[in-house]
Copies of this chain bind each other. A is one copy, B any other.
Amino acid sequence: MEKIPYKIYLTEDEMPKAWYNIRSAMKNKPAPLLNPGTHEPMKAEELAPVFCEELIKQELDNDTEYFPIPQEVYDFYKMYRPSPLVRAYCLEKALGTPAKIYYKFEGNNTSGSHKLNSAIAQAYYAKMQGLKGVTTETGAGQWGTALSMACSYLGLDCKVFMVKVSYEQKPFRREVMRTYGADVTPSPSMTTEIGKKILAEHPGTTGSLGCAISEAVEVAVSTPGYRYVLGSVLNQVLLHQSIIGLETQAALNKYGIKPDMVIGCAGGGSNLGGLIAPFMRDKINGDLDCRIIAVEPASCPSFTRGKYAYDFCDTGMVCPLAKMYTLGSGFIPAPNHAGGLRYHGMSSILSQLYDDGLMEAVAVPQTEVFKAAEQFARVEGILPAPESSHAIKVAIDEAMKCKETGEEKTIVFGLTGTGYFDLVAYQKFHDGEMDDYIPTDEDLAKSISALPPVD
């Protein structure tokens, strides 16, 4: 058989021309967004003050299989796509495992992560609608960086609310956004009503993602010519991110490879939902026998310890309600939690798939994650983001199980981005100053008990 190269590249011609909508294959569709006042499913016209029109169509469409990628988005993709699927020969050798490990590397662009795939799509539709700009929130900074870059390319304004603790601890992330011309405000801020309210109630708070979302939405709905965009959780985001999975499958198909498991890190679900899309379709259709594994931080374990219920998407409770595995919108991961994957809830699509038993989930503590990250970096050469390293950790664990059993399983995982802006966390890890905070049952019971009463 032909030797598998270190990197399997697709040609530009082999790059997918359309995004794949996994909802079209789901027997149980994801639950709809609800109006927080009436608890009725949100209609397009209710969403229109917040989101761009085309994106609302994508958000609400559970049936269309493929959405063509607009030419301008496609051209932008070609600057950094197709991304490589790498055979981790060096890691396999270091582990001494008979498993065959592949990773899809999405860190190969200045935004440093997969977030750019949806950022350029959302910015494009905003521009097509004739808008002046968009607002958003960012936590660890990957999404804000990606959106700034996309907006700069298309000539749109970009207002980013950055969780204050990240704003202060990650000045370089801020500076990259500035290089791309974005306006970055630490959240909570005095520039919004909700920000003022939160600061009055919690003086000195360092912010949270849910709070930054509330501020970004407020500015979007109150500023003519602006809409709000989001980097994860939503159906539309998973749709755009399907490019990751489609390319991965196309690359594997070139060599007739079928994965035994597909592993991705999960915060809001943007990377995981995109990576698994075509594999999940084949699994649903009975064409593929494959484990699909979500990896989440033990400090923010929405799949493994959350409740499947309707919840607020933001702290200010201005957004629609979404049905998801959630820890409660008031949940904030411990301050020692490094990197992203800190959202209290999880994509409705993935929540439904998990509830249907089509996916597994595992929660891992962060010191274990950084151990895996360093091990990976030393042999594979890429310095992984903490988020991505959750998937590395479980891929290594599964490869070691293969070593015990002698099974030559094919493991595919998503390497979503690079860790260049996470070196403070790496430093803590090296200095032995990193620990694992795992929320107690009482902590979770408290935040989960505050879910809104939806039947």
Q: How far is the CA of A178 from the CA of B432 in the complex (A)?
A: 13
* Chain A: number of interface residues, binned into ranges: 35 or more
Decide: A180 near B78, CB < 8 A? Known: A12-B5, A175-B426, A382-B110: no
CB distance from A89 to the nearest CB of B (A): 8
A152 CB contacts on chain B under 8 angstroms: 378
A75 CB contacts on chain B under 8 angstroms: 89
Determine if B179 and A430 form an interchain contact, defined as CB atoms under 8 angstroms apart: yes
Q: How many copies does the complex hold?
A: 2
A176 CB contacts on chain B under 8 angstroms: 383, 423, 426
A153 within 8 A of B: yes
Determine if B12 and A181 form an interchain contact, defined as CB atoms under 8 angstroms apart: no
A125 within 8 A of B: no
Residue from the set A79, A89, A108 with the largest chain B CB neighbour count within 10 Å: A79
Q: How far is the CA of A181 from the CA of B379 in the complex (A)?
A: 12
Interface residues as binary, A365-395 with B (CB distance below 8 Å gives 1, 0 otherwise): 0000000001001111111000000000000
Determine if B374 and A109 form an interchain contact, defined as CB atoms under 8 angstroms apart: no
Nearest B-chain residue to A149, judged by Cβ: B381
Decide: A430 near B377, CB < 8 A? Known: A90-B79, A382-B109, A420-B421: no
12 other contacts beyond A109-B381, A176-B383, with CB at 8 A cut-off?
A6-B79, A7-B78, A9-B9, A79-B380, A80-B381, A90-B153, A110-B382, A153-B378, A171-B427, A179-B377, A180-B378, A420-B420
Which A residues are within 8 Å of any B CB, using their own CB? 5-7, 9, 11-12, 75, 78-80, 86, 89-90, 108-112, 149, 152-153, 171-172, 175-176, 178-181, 374, 377-383, 418, 420-421, 423, 426-427, 430
